[in-house]
């Protein structure tokens, strides 16, 4: 094996049996947990306190076994264990790129799979999580967009992606020590995996509330970024009910081109989207919006596009994140050349906006934006082909 080959490692392959009639605590909001405890027989007067205690064990300490929750009476712990489970999605496999990026294939109830990507950087570590299996939208440059929506993830499955990576990085705080965002391996979360988070609003909101709760996973709301293709009616609600940072998949400077690339533009066009975005920083008390702009050769990458872009967003506190297109087999576009990306970035930068070019990460393990799930599906298809050609394999 060459030393640049990714390490593929099966972490857990034993499928878990669904447990009938038990309530899963992972993903319940504090209020839902309190109500569930009352329904299970906890006296109403105590329920809030008990919910707080359980909450801290689960989200602050990473404990998923009631027996360890030693500030609860033993008989109460036994009661809980009879009625509740604390379950997060299971890791089917983990791949580690030569650059340290980790891609997890995660299995959710029903046997569907999503991907979660951890990207270590110098002073932080960012986790890219999925909100849906597939997507209802059909952006023409995105591989996830070629796959139908299978289902929305639950709040537990969304927050569970953060928890399973905390497990893998062995990063639950030591008893008595509060977590320190500056030195955490997993310090930031981006909703930029599979799916459109604003079409699964309630589950995304509940999961992010748990992530931001100081007694929960205690990530600052400024370290969580939600990326949307532009679901205009949900943007003010995001500011109001989640309050995290916002990224928007802008990708074009005329409605003609954006209609092609991000078809939701036919419903809410550039002018409508920009109007809504203008209010976001004030409503969410955040500094600026990230405009994501995928660089597609000959489609949206001209000097004129760059000039138009800065005209359009004038007055909105913004950063423009230029994403070199991640190609996938059969994709109808090519990545813009490095020189073109640099020229575009310079124009945007000279107009007064930060215009970083996103460094492709985890390319050797197909972990880049817009490629998620496709690699898994391809792997499954090629395994099926091998099986067809050679007969059933012993272990796949
Ligand atoms: N559905 C949401 C979030 C997931 S996609 C959204 O569209 O914003 C995360 C980012 O990756 C989006 O900006 C998306 O436009 C971009 N993306 C999708 N496919 C890509 C590809 N093949 N190459 C580069 N970026 C891509
Ligand atoms: Fe869905 Fe986002 Fe891909 Fe568009 S870019 S198809 S909204 S995941």
Q: What is the CATH number of the domain that holds 220?
A: 3.20.20.70
Q: Which of 249, 273, 332, 361 to mutate to test the pocket of ligand 1 (most atoms within 8 A of CB)?
A: 249
pLDDT, tens only, 242-293? 999 999 999 999 999 999 999 999 999 999 999 999 998 888 877 899 999 9
Structure confidence at residue 2 as a pLDDT band (50, 70, 90):
very low
What is the predicted pLDDT for the residue at 7?
A: 42
Tell me the CATH number at 41. 1.10.150.530
Structure confidence at residue 390 as a pLDDT band (50, 70, 90):
very low
Indicate the residue among 61, 85, 109 that finishes a domain.
Answer: 85
Looking at every residue in the chain, the average pLDDT score rounds to 88
Residue 195 CA, ligand 1 centroid: distance in Å: 9
Structure confidence at residue 6 as a pLDDT band (50, 70, 90):
very low
Instruction: Report the number of distinct structural domains present in the chain.
Output: 2
**Quick one: CA torsion of 309, 310, 314, 319, rounded to 10 degrees?**
90
**Are 244 and 343 found together in one domain?**
yes
**Are 77 and 174 found together in one domain?**
no
Helix (H) or strand (E) holding 190: strand 188-191
**Are 166 and 62 found together in one domain?**
no
**Residue 88 pLDDT exceeds 90:** yes
Query: Considering the domain boundaries, does residue 164 fall inside one?
Result: yes
**Are 60 and 194 found together in one domain?**
no
**Are 170 and 303 found together in one domain?**
yes
Catalytic-residue membership of 115: yes
**Are 257 and 115 found together in one domain?**
yes
Mean pLDDT of 375-395: 44
Residue 292 beta carbon below 6 angstroms from any ligand 1 atom: yes
**Residue 42 pLDDT exceeds 60:** yes
What is the predicted pLDDT for the residue at 387?
A: 41
Structure confidence at residue 367 as a pLDDT band (50, 70, 90):
confident
Indicate the residue among 85, 107, 131 that finishes a domain.
Answer: 85
**Rounded CA gap, 251 and 116, in Å?**
23
Query: Considering the domain boundaries, does residue 6 fall inside one?
Result: no
Mean pLDDT of 24-31: 96
**Rounded CA gap, 217 and 55, in Å?**
10
Indicate the residue among 85, 108, 123 that finishes a domain.
Answer: 85
**Residue 238 pLDDT exceeds 60:** yes
**Are 186 and 295 found together in one domain?**
yes
Residue 24 CA, ligand 1 centroid: distance in Å: 31
Query: Considering the domain boundaries, does residue 176 fall inside one?
Result: yes
Catalytic-residue membership of 135: no
**Are 309 and 160 found together in one domain?**
yes
Residue 230 CA, ligand 2 centroid: distance in Å: 10
What is the predicted pLDDT for the residue at 393?
A: 34
**Residue 301 pLDDT exceeds 70:** yes
Give the DSSP letter of residue 56.
I
State what percent of residues in the chain have pLDDT above 70.
86
Which range marks the domain in which residue 312 is found?
90-390
In the three-class reduction of DSSP (H, G, I as helix; E, B as strand; rest coil), residue 369 is classed as: coil
Mean pLDDT of 35-44: 96
Determine which residue's CA is closest to atom 9 belonging to ligand 1.
192
């Amino acid at each position: 094996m060459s030393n640049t080959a990714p390490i593929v490692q099966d972490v857990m392959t034993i499928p878990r049996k669904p447990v009938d009639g038990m309530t899963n605590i992972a993903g319940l909001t504090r209020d839902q947990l309190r109500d569930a405890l009352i329904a299970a027989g906890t006296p109403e007067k105590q329920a809030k306190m008990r919910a707080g205690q359980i909450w801290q064990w689960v989200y602050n300490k990473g404990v998923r076994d009631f027996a360890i929750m030693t500030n609860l009476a033993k008989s109460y712990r036994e009661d809980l264990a009879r009625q509740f489970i604390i379950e997060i999605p299971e890791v089917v496999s983990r791949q580690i790129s030569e650059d340290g990026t980790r891609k997890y294939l995660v299995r959710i109830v029903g046997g569907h799979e999503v991907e979660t990507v951890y990207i270590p950087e110098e002073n932080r570590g960012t986790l890219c999580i999925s909100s849906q299996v597939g997507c209802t939208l059909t952006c023409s440059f995105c591989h996830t967009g070629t796959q139908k929506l299978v289902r929305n993830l639950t709040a537990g499955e969304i927050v569970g992606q953060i928890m399973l990576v905390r497990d893998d990085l062995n990063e639950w705080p030591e008893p008595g020590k509060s977590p320190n965002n500056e030195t955490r391996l997993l310090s930031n979360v981006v909703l930029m995996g599979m799916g459109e988070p604003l079409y699964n609003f309630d589950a995304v909101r509940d999961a992010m509330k748990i992530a931001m709760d100081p007694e929960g996973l205690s990530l600052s709301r400024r370290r969580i970024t939600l990326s949307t293709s532009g679901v205009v009616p949900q943007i003010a609600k995001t500011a109001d009910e989640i309050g995290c940072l916002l990224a928007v998949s802008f990708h074009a400077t005329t409605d003609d081109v954006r209609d092609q690339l991000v078809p939701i533009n036919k419903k809410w066009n550039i002018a409508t989207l920009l109007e809504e975005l203008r209010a976001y920083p004030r409503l969410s008390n955040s500094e600026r919006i990230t405009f994501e702009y995928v660089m597609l050769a000959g489609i949206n990458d001209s000097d004129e596009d760059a000039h138009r872009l800065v005209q359009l967003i004038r007055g909105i506190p913004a950063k423009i994140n230029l994403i070199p297109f991640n190609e996938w087999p059969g994709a109808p576009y090519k990545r813009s050349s490095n020189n073109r990306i640099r020229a575009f970035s310079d124009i945007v930068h000279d107009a007064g906006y930060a215009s970083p070019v996103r460094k492709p990460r985890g390319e050797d393990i197909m972990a880049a934006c817009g490629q998620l799930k496709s690699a898994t599906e391809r792997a499954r298809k090629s395994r099926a082909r091998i099986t067809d050609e050679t007969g059933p394999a012993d272990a796949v």
